[in-house]
Amino acid sequence: MSLVETRKPMPRILVVDDNPGIAALMSQLLSMRGYEVVTVADAHEAEAEVRRQPPDLILSDVRMPGKSGYDLCRDLKDDPATRLIPFVLITGLSDGTERLRGIEAGADDFLNKPVLAEELAARVKSLLRMKEFTDELETADSVLCTLGLIVEGRDPYTEGHCERLAVHAADLGRHLGLDEDSVLALRRGGYLHDLGKIAVPDEILKKGSNLTPEEWKVMKLHPVTGEMICRPLKSLRLVLPIIRHHHEHMDGSGYPDGLRTGEIPLLPRILQVVDVYDALRTARPYKTALSHDLSAQTMRAKARQGLLDGELVNQFFAMLREKRNVA
């Protein structure tokens, strides 16, 4: 038995209600069950509290002065940083249309006023269990991303590569108008695309160029190995094609599957463009760093040869131009 007892902190619940009597009653009911409770009177205060310290669950009234419970719910569910916090709408109406509005806003559950103590406890317990589960998945994600950085750290010449890739790939996804899930996948792809190099020995990894045919065979396994490591995590579903296909070429000369134009999914094509740019701009033991203009020329030539997606190369440089003008 461990001498140091590690205790999980009690879940924090945020209660949003403009009626101080109801807020106090809910706070009392939940505190009695050992939860930490914070009460606020409107959506504005709720947003400030979520920014200060994200709660594990939100119970919110629908009708409040200022922003409604629906709008608060919709805004939090639209934000990738807060969308996994379970949100319960408390409504005085058992009307179907009100519920539909809540579902459209992304609410995870509903409670009717007056709130019954037993029902409140049961709903809260089941939603917190779900939150714990999603937190564990999130933790598994970040463990893998950290592993990606450890792999990067084995090659001193690629320092910062993953972070730059994650930022640029997500920016390009946003520039192309992709949905938030795809943008998040591109960000994770920046960290995870080369995770499979964990199985490539140091002497091959650090050699960089002039690999023997046998060494190339080992190197070329990394997209498949990386995909295999990440496959059990459902949350990485959109990242898997990025990991597997980031070395495919439009003319079919890439690996591991020799896919051609039209067969390579969009997300790996995006990551590839960003990856090639970063590699060209960085000095390695066997090459110097190219200037921005020379990198652009080289990438356009690669696109003409059928190695990169020419349209995405154009979009990438258009995005960098825009960013420079904004800065």
Q: Which residues bind Fe ion (CB under 5 A)?
A: 194
Nearer to Fe ion, 194 or 227 (CB): 194
CB of 221 vs Fe ion, minimal distance in Å? 11
Query: Would you say 59 and 14 are in contact if contact means Cβ atoms under 8 Å apart?
Result: yes
Rounded least distance, CB 175 to Fe ion, Å: 23
Q: How far is the CB of 223 from Fe ion (least distance, A)?
A: 6
Min dist. Cβ of residue 276 to Fe ion (A): 11
Q: Which is nearer to Fe ion, 38 or 211 (CB)?
A: 211
Which residues fall within 8 angstroms of residue 244, CB to CB, at 6 or more apart?
223, 224, 226, 227, 256, 257, 268
Residue 100: burial class (beta carbons within 10 Å; 0-12, 13-18, 19+)? exposed
Give how far the C-alpha of residue 63 lies from the chain's centroid of Cα atoms, to the nearest Å.
Answer: 32
- What would the two tokens of residue 54 be? 């994200």
Q: Residue 250 in contact with residue 260, Cβ under 8 Å?
A: yes
Provide the 8-state DSSP code for 235.
G
- Decide whether 194 or 309 has the Cβ nearer to Fe ion: 194
Instruction: Decide whether 25 or 224 has the Cβ nearer to Fe ion.
Output: 224
Omega prior to 256 cis, within 30 of 0: yes
Q: Which is nearer to Fe ion, 82 or 282 (CB)?
A: 282
Minimum distance from residue 185 beta carbon to Fe ion (Å): 16
Q: What Rg, from alpha-carbon coordinates, does the chain have?
A: 25
CB of 279 to Fe ion, least distance (A): 10
DSSP H or E stretch at residue 61: strand 57-61
Of the two residues 68 and 272, which places its CB atom closer to Fe ion in the complex? 272
Select 101 or 193, whichever has its Cβ closest to Fe ion.
Answer: 193
Return all residues near 310 (Cβ < 8 A) that are at least 6 apart: 300, 303, 304
Closest distance between Fe ion and the C-beta of residue 3, in Å? 45
Which are the contacts of 315, defined by CB distance < 8 A and separation ≥ 6?
172, 175, 176
Return the residue nearest Fe ion (CB atom): 194
